[in-house]
Amino acid sequence: MKLNMTIKKIISLLVIAGGISWGCQAVVEDLTGPSSLGNNLGIVSQPNTISIGGGSTTISVTVFTVDSIPVEGATVTLTSTLGTLGAASLTTNAGGGATTTLTPGTISGLAYVTASIDNITAVTAVSIIN
């Protein structure tokens, strides 16, 4: 029960941190934790589809304790199977969040963006189309 409530709190905070207006529903592609240090990690991409030769997607990560307290100053490492990340290492702000971009390269397909902190990872998928 506590884990379910914690996940709901984290998703609610992700919605607030992402600036999503009322009536919209955030989709958290992956939420994992707790890590060896007691942190939870969430990742989301918006939009989920981008075109070669134009556009980018915002990759947002969020780090919270098991008690839903944002973790400021956490270093999150990112990798992607396709495209180019704006930053491969992010530091979370006071709200526990950090963002970067993913721009497409010349290859279409599914880009898997993996965020890592402590001993846990979270993954989001972005479709890169022609």
pLDDT digits 0-9 by tens, 25-34? 334 456 666 6
pLDDT digits 0-9 by tens, 105-115? 999 999 999 99
Contact between 32 and 122 (Cβ < 8 Å): yes
pLDDT digits 0-9 by tens, 59-80? 999 999 988 899 999 999 999 9
Question: Which is more confident, 97 or 119?
Answer: 97
Among residues 95, 44, 39, 41, the alpha carbon closest in space to that of 72 is found at: 95
Which residues on neighbouring strands pair with residue 120, listed in sequence order?
117
* Centroid of chain to Cα 5: 20
29: DSSP letter: S
**3-state DSSP assignment of residue 74:** coil
Answer whether residue 21 shows pLDDT above 60: no
pTM of the model: 0.75
Task: Name the average pLDDT for the chain.
Answer: 81
What percentage of the chain has pLDDT greater than the value 90?
Answer: 62
Overall average pLDDT of the 94-106 stretch: 97
One-character DSSP codes across 81-116: SSSEES-SEEE--TTSEEEEEEE--S--EEEEEEEE
Q: How far apart are CA 109 and CA 62, in angstroms?
A: 26
Answer whether residue 48 shows pLDDT above 90: yes
Which architecture characterizes domain 2-129 according to CATH?
Answer: Sandwich (2.60)
Contact between 13 and 95 (Cβ < 8 Å): yes
Window from 28-37, 82-91, 102-111 with minimum mean pLDDT: 28-37
Amino acid letter for position 116: S
Overall average pLDDT of the 1-27 stretch: 41
